[in-house]
Amino acid sequence: MPTPEHMQAAVEAYVRALNAADLDAITALYADDARVEDPVGSTPSCGLNEIRAFYARSLRLKLQVALEGPVRAVAGEAAFAFSVSFEINGRPTTIRPIDVMRFDAAGRIVQMRAFFGPGNISTG
């Protein structure tokens, strides 16, 4: 089982990779058979090919990502609040999700779920 320190480092690497629009670094964090459900309730992206395509679409926007508090990491899972800011159609937009990541024994992400809804999105 990955240590809390490993999971903390993985979350920090994830945030850095999103800010750098580094698709390879993002997908390297995931296990081959991982699932991404972003947002929760949407159809999950399953496997590295679908996950890579999901992030490729997301990275078309210039993202500014920041943790908004400490990572909670225990028992092979990590949860963290963060902000994702970008401009779409000339309007600044910020989403404030809480992501939950589950890790395998090798320390790779096997599941990521992003919890947010309309009340967590601001424009202006």
CB atoms within 10 A of CB 21: 16
CB 86 within 8 A of CB 9: no
69 Ramachandran zone, left/alpha/beta (phi>0; psi -120 to 50): left
Find the catalytic residue in 14, 30, 55, 99.
14
End-to-end CA distance of the chain: 43
Has 14 been annotated as catalytic?
yes
CA distance 105 to 40: 24
Find the catalytic residue in 30, 33, 38, 104.
38
Has 55 been annotated as catalytic?
no
Distance of CA 79 to the CA centre of its chain: 10
Active-site residue set: 14, 38
